[in-house]
Structure 1
Amino acid sequence: MYKLAFIGGSLDSIAGYPHFIASQMDRRFEVVAGAFSTQQETNYKTATQWKVPALYDTWQELVEKEKNNLDAIVILTPTPMHCTIIIELLKNNIPILCEKPLVSSLQEIEAIKKVYDEKKHFLVVTNNYSGYPMVRELQHKIANDELGKILHIRLKMPQESFLRPPKSIKYPQKWRLKDGFIPMISLDLGAHLHHLAYFLLQEEPSKVMATYASFSQYNVIDDVNMMLEYKSGIKGNIWLSKTALGNRNGLHIEVYGSKASALWHQENPEQLEFSYSSGQKTIIDRGSDVEITNNPLYNRMTPGHPAGFIESFANLYNDIANELDNFFNDTKLDSKYVYSFEHAKNGINLLHQASQSNKNKEWTHI
């Protein structure tokens, strides 16, 4: 069982508890240390409630005291803090699991690039939505040409949180209300959709046309539309919004091919719907004749007992544990589900060029 420490991810955060549960669901990891919050009371409450034995007031102290006792550190701080922490952990050769997005800008990508060595360091970004079994099934079917030549892909992530914030947490946090050249909504939501598009197509877009809008009271970008073009001829569309009433977290994938199309909604994650050129429509789930999702890992409970967000996260943590096995045994890292610096760099570049496109009101090459 690998020993983890958390930097950030307290009881007050959105990401902390899902990471804590998912990392330990299949007994591949144990959280043994943390610097969960800069608020002393919250930090203490988190460690007490989660029964984490080693607690530190600062992440710097955690690194200094625990660097020789840990197998990896999970970064769950607000995005603007990631770069500084990542560089320090790389200098100490500590394996890193970083909540997406890796960083906030191309400048921060360049700063990490100066110290990151892919042959020496372990750095993965936790893009959890591709952990859903039916999304992995869809990837397999696209790769096997079951949809034919892919013509276009549409990904949507509409939320209502800037008009109707969730009551369970203090939202929005102050750090989410500060836009850089890449707006925070693109870092927050767009990083997920870039990852999913690449995960399914195994191709990066070559051009982007983006338009931004602000509809809420917060004076930040809260609605983003991107049109994408790929060298293979695929057309794409990405829509992000935090001002779409009625959508709690409306993650939605549509892939259209010459033989068939596929639809997947996160709110109904067990089902994958296909429409064929014959006019026939079918819906498959974990109980169907499937090739990827018959893996025991994706069937902690039998079909008919839905697996959801935490389970998809646990799937990813299993994949990361397998990659740590390879890393510590000096074996090639070869998971098709675990993504590192290069993928994160490409995502930040897409989001940067989208901002350039919005600024210039024209198609921008990536």
Structure 2
Amino acid sequence: MTLDRKLRYGMVGGGPGAFIGEVHRMAAALDGKIELVAGAFSSSAEKSKQKGEELNLDPSRVYGSYQEMAEKESQLPEDERIDFVSIVTPNFLHHPVAKTFIEAGFHVVCDKPMTKTVEEAEELCRLVDEHDVIFALTHNYTGYPMVKEAREMIENGKLGEIRKVVVEYPQGWLAEQVDNKQANWRTDPKKAGVSSAVGDIGSHAENLVEYITGLQIESLIADISSFVEGRELEDDANVLVHYKGGARGILYCSQVSVGEENNLSIRAYGTKAAIEWKQENPNYLHVLYQDGPEQVYKRGNEYLTEAAKHNSRIPSGHPEGFIEAFANIYVNFANTLSAKLSGEDPGELDLDFPTVQDGARGVDFIHKVIESGKKSKWVDVDYTPPS
């Protein structure tokens, strides 16, 4: 039995002036399977009401706090209440908001990093299991079709044994002191946590490596810097990585690389071949060989794997980008949730989205990088979150 309606969701955060909330709303709406019906869009009840009016929501479903939203949505009939919540707040609110809604029985989509501390992340892992809810983390770069193609190549042995991985995520928007909402919370330890650059973009880079290659970190050593005077958290990090099984890696993330926008890229070198993918030109995957010509795989073609095709919407030659990749997290989550609500098993390709355990590994990674950077020494990372 297929669910005969759209999934209903509420949003916490994403009020006036917020960037990522609008991205989530566009991504969730793209495939027509999800509708926004409720929200607590700001810690200010007035601003939350303003955003609700802009989005043409029923005023009775626009709340002054996330606690009120969880309580009142729980009291609504099952055919009216939200099915899940989307959490798009600054980092420090991810844990309390997620915990509140999980304990109320709601499924969750949460922005990254999942929490500020490893202990909070592990608590969410246990709560997700205890309450039998579905939890998706929006590491949206895993949603690109050619990222999925790269993953399939490595899983199928086309590259041979992976020896070396280089992943970079340079930005330049914080190369000087910036005074706006987005910059202020990301550089504030009370709201961002222990890290700025690593937590905000380095966590994406680490997750992308693990997703594509399947490699997990054994140990690392980091060099972290705060180049802008007065900035409490790091704005640049360079990390050497040892992976389980012997592969080596380099991870570089920076918010002070002048002229860079969102130049996330990854190169993985195996014993047979290598791959290269760039987020700013995401519809192409380059495959390199020692004894043959370079090959370029293009999004939207029939020769691609089912995973890549499953996450494409339009024919080749019509670029798909950031919003579509973000939407792939939402639509796979939605298909999985719809199957659960219908009493069915989800398809294997629909289960392809980052989970609460991915979130816990990401939080541990952030803390280990900062620990290593402060001590200037190798640290062990061998970490398994609660399942």
TM-fit CA distance, 1:151: 1.0
Partners of 1:202 and 1:104 in 2: CA distance: 25
2:172 matched to 1:160? yes
Partners of 1:50 and 1:173 in 2: CA distance: 26
Cα 1:27/1:242, change in 2 over 3 Å = same
TM-fit CA distance, 1:170: 4.2
Do the aligned partners of 1:160 and 1:245 also contact (CA within 8 Å) in 2? yes
Normalized against structure 1, the TM-score is what? 0.92
Name the Cα RMSD after superposition.
Answer: 2.3
What secondary structure does 2:217 align onto?
A: coil
Q: State the identity as a percent.
A: 28
Cα 1:116/1:318, change in 2 over 3 Å = closer
In the other structure, the counterpart of 2:55 is 50
C-alpha distance after superposition, 1:237-287 (max 9, x if no partner): 111100001111111111111121111111111111121111411222125
In the other structure, the counterpart of 1:262 is 275
C-alpha distance after superposition, 1:185-204 (max 9, x if no partner): 22211221221111112231
Summarize the alignment of residues 1-366 of structure 1 with structure 2, pairs less than 5 Å apart.
1-53=6-58, 54-67=61-74, 68=76, 69-113=81-125, 115-117=127-129, 120-163=132-175, 170-178=181-189, 182-217=194-229, 218-288=231-301, 289-292=303-306, 295=309, 297-300=311-314, 302-329=315-342, 335=350, 337-366=352-381
Normalized against structure 2, the TM-score is what? 0.87
Partners of 1:164 and 1:37 in 2: CA distance: 28
Letter in 2 for 1:248: E
C-alpha distance after superposition, 1:218-245 (max 9, x if no partner): 2421001111111211111111100001
Do the aligned partners of 2:15 and 2:51 also contact (CA within 8 Å) in 1? yes
Segments of structure 2 that go 5 or more residues without pairing to the other structure are 1-5, 382-387
Do the aligned partners of 1:153 and 1:254 also contact (CA within 8 Å) in 2? yes
Partners of 2:316 and 2:127 in 1: CA distance: 46
TM-fit CA distance, 1:39: 3.3
Cα 1:181/1:89, change in 2 over 3 Å = closer
C-alpha distance after superposition, 1:316-346 (max 9, x if no partner): 1111012212432455665552222222111
Do the aligned partners of 1:122 and 1:327 also contact (CA within 8 Å) in 2? no
C-alpha distance after superposition, 1:62-92 (max 9, x if no partner): 1111124111011111110111112211211
Letter in 1 for 2:380: H
Partners of 2:214 and 2:147 in 1: CA distance: 14
Partners of 2:370 and 2:47 in 1: CA distance: 36
C-alpha distance after superposition, 1:68-121 (max 9, x if no partner): 411101111111011111221121111111111110111322443554426722
Partners of 1:187 and 1:111 in 2: CA distance: 19
TM-fit CA distance, 1:181: 7.0
Partners of 1:297 and 1:221 in 2: CA distance: 35
Do the aligned partners of 1:148 and 1:260 also contact (CA within 8 Å) in 2? yes
What secondary structure does 1:206 align onto?
A: strand
Do the aligned partners of 2:203 and 2:365 also contact (CA within 8 Å) in 1? no
- Bigger shift: residues 337-346 or 107-116: 107-116
Partners of 1:284 and 1:224 in 2: CA distance: 31
Do the aligned partners of 1:286 and 1:293 also contact (CA within 8 Å) in 2? no
